[in-house]
Amino acid sequence: MREFEGRSLEDKCPFCRHPSPKSQEEADRVQMKRVEVNDPVAMRLMGFERQEKEDHDGAFEYYTKAAGLGDVNAHFNLSLLYHEGKGVEKDEKKR
Phi, psi angle pair for 64, to nearest 5°:
-65, -45
Please report the sign of the dihedral spanned by the C-alpha atoms of residue 83, residue 41, residue 19, residue 7: positive
Greater confidence (1 vs 48) lies with: 48
pTM of the model: 0.75
What radius of gyration do the chain's Cα atoms show? 17
- Give dist(CA 79, CA 94) in Å, integer: 11
* CA 4 – CA 12 distance, rounded (Å): 11
Tens digits of per-residue pLDDT, 20-32?
888 889 888 888 9
